[in-house]
Amino acid sequence: EGGFGGGSGSGVGTGVGTGVGAGVGIGVGAGGGFNNMNISNYHSNPNANFTNATAITTTTTNTSTSTSTSNNISLGKTSRGAKKETIALAQALHVIESLRKDLHLRDDTISDLKSEMRRQNRVIEDLLAGRDPRIMEKERLRMEFHADQLRRMKETVDAMAEELAEAKETSAVHAAELTASLEAADQLVLQLENAHAAAAEARIEASKAASQVLRLDSSLKAAERDVNVAIIQAGDLEKKMAEVQLQKKGAEVEGQKLQKQWTTALAAAAAAQGA
């Protein structure tokens, strides 16, 4: 009877996440058997190409794993950066869910292999009565092969469980980093709001200062006008004082004339009295 096999592997890597994937496939074929047949086809047609082959001729094993991690968290990240971190975390959680489903698939495969082992045991029990050495050797080899297949499958499942645990831990770390990044973003937003409020207050103070400057400028212009008027008035006063000075000098001249006339008159009166 030909065996079944074939495997698939998957790997996911994200900027701030971890992707893991593993696939195992084993195929055997002998005579008219089949090889590399996937599990779904085996379930749908388990008796295809059934023959009494005498030797195991083909064995294939395919495994693949991939893991990638990186850390781009930094304080003060903008909200857009926080959104990217959220998407990366969701991708990591999706990878974990895919691994969980893959583990269930591996469990189903192991159950199928156990069923095959039980069938082989029944075949051996049936063949013991005939005591055919060739058939017994063939069945022994098949049993050893399936036992090895189960062992390898268990090792793969254990490895995937470890990778799943590591992915969960990594996701928890990224979740904590994302939380810290969001808190830093909140702090930045708060600082920006405070700065905006301070800027608004500064604009109000600047407006008040500008109003005071305008009032001071008006006062200076008014004072300048008053000074100009005072200068003009001072000029007028100076002219008037000059006129008064001229009038004073004219009065002094007239006084001197009158004094001379008075002296002359007194002299004439004295002469007249003497005569």
Q: Is pLDDT above 70 for 273?
A: yes
Q: How many CB atoms lie within 10 A of CB 66?
A: 14
pLDDT digits (tens, 9 = 90+) for 109-143: 787 778 888 877 777 776 666 656 677 677 778 88
pTM surpassing 0.85?
no
Residue 139 · residue 124 · CB < 8 Å: yes
- Assess if residue 165 is contained within a domain: yes
Number of domains, the chain: 1
- Assess if residue 225 is contained within a domain: no
Please spell the DSSP secondary structure of 173-229, one letter per residue. Answer: HHHHHHHHHHHHHHHHHHHHHHHHHHHHHHHHHHHHHHHHHHHHHHHHHHHHHHHHH
| Structure token digits, residue 32 | 């008219």
pLDDT digits (tens, 9 = 90+) for 195-248: 999 999 999 999 998 899 899 988 889 888 888 888 888 888 888 888 888 888
- Assess if residue 115 is contained within a domain: yes
- Assess if residue 33 is contained within a domain: yes
CA pair distance 108, 47, nearest whole angstrom: 19
- Assess if residue 78 is contained within a domain: yes
Residue range(s) defining the domain that contains residue 95: 26-184
pLDDT computed for residue 187 by the predictor:
92
* Residue listed under structure tokens 């971190």: 85
CA pair distance 167, 69, nearest whole angstrom: 10
